[in-house]
């Protein structure tokens, strides 16, 4: 019997801050295979970071750092113009913060996935992409680098000889060029669970996605992202896991290299 096809399901979590709770982390954690933990710049704080690492450990999840711009008010989703070396430093800083919590909790930092505006800018801007890839490599070249499928960030990671992981999105819509529909557009996010699940299955089985204007484009991917702040994130994850089981598809995290 053929081995069922597997996909990594990752989710951006640990985005609460102080007394403010964002997302349904405890409900989401059992449904995914990899977690991207906010590192205090766009969201999260020291206590939230540590607690999320502990929770991820209890569910045997691959743990990733989710660095973003220093923009709590804008949740890291506003473009910022920074010098390339500033971007390098802020990524090193945030990786190091989460890496320390992993160390004290007996966990291993598996991957890095930039957040929000930093992620989207790195998908197109080679200078930003190179700064991020260089930061990951300089901290630990065995760490995986997650980036948007067919993006400048994936190219930059490969030039640094990192293990890159191409990512696609379950709950976001796509443009013809493979970019995500900007969030200021009303159709940027799938509003129904059914639409998001259908897109996820198409990505897993065919490595394709239907864009907002009806085109079908190739989107190679090894990991799929769910956003923890999506209003129906838990319901979507449950529906997707059920649909995958019916199709003989399984979930497993990507693995960082040893050494």
Q: Let me know if residue 65 belongs to a domain.
A: yes
Residue for token digits 């890496």?
A: 99
Q: Let me know if residue 258 belongs to a domain.
A: no
What pLDDT is attached to residue 191?
Answer: 80
- pLDDT higher than 80, residue 62: yes
Q: Let me know if residue 34 belongs to a domain.
A: yes
For residue 46, give the 3-state DSSP assignment: helix
Q: Which domain holds residue 124?
A: 6-251
Q: Let me know if residue 77 belongs to a domain.
A: yes
For residue 17, give the 3-state DSSP assignment: strand
Q: Let me know if residue 256 belongs to a domain.
A: no
**Residue 171 is part of a domain; what is its CATH number?**
3.20.20.370
Confidence of residue 257 (pLDDT cuts 50, 70, 90): low
Q: Let me know if residue 259 belongs to a domain.
A: no
Confidence of residue 255 (pLDDT cuts 50, 70, 90): confident
**How many domains, the chain?**
1
Q: Percent of the chain at pLDDT above 70?
A: 97
Return the structure tokens found at 101.
Answer: 């919590």
pTM, entire model: 0.94
Position with higher pLDDT, 4 vs 46: 46
Distance (Å, rounded) from C-alpha 198 to C-alpha 218? 16
Distance (Å, rounded) from C-alpha 173 to C-alpha 8? 19
Q: Let me know if residue 257 belongs to a domain.
A: no
Task: Provide the b/e sequence for 116-151 (b: ≥16 CB within 10 Å).
Answer: bbbbbbbbebeebbbbbbbbbbebeebbbbbbbbbb
Distance (Å, rounded) from C-alpha 207 to C-alpha 195? 16
């Amino acid at each position: 019997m053929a081995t069922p096809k597997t996909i990594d399901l990752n989710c951006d979590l640990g985005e609460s801050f102080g007394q403010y709770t964002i997302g349904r982390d405890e409900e989401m954690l059992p449904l995914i295979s990899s977690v991207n933990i906010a590192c205090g710049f766009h969201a999260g704080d020291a206590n939230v970071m540590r607690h999320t690492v502990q929770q991820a450990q209890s569910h045997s999840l691959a743990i990733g750092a989710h660095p973003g711009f220093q923009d709590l008010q804008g949740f890291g989703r506003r473009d910022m113009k920074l010098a390339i070396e500033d971007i390098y430093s802020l990524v090193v800083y945030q990786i190091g913060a989460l890496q320390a919590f992993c160390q004290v909790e007996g966990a291993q930092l598996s991957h890095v996935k930039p957040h929000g505006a930093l992620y989207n800018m790195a998908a197109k801007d080679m200078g930003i992409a190179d700064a991020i890839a260089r930061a990951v490599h300089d901290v630990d070249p065995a760490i995986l680098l997650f980036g948007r499928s067919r993006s400048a960030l994936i190219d930059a990671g490969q030039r640094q000889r990192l293990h890159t992981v191409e990512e696609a999105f379950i709950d976001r819509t796509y443009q013809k060029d493979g970019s995500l529909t900007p969030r200021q557009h009303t159709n940027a996010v799938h509003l129904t669970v059914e639409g998001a699940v259908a897109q996820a299955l198409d990505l897993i089985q065919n490595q394709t996605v239907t864009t907002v204007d009806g085109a079908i484009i190739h989107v190679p991917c090894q990991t799929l992202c769910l956003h923890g702040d999506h209003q129906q994130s838990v319901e979507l994850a449950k529906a997707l896991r059920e649909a995958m089981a019916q199709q003989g598809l399984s979930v497993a995290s990507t693995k960082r290299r040893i050494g």
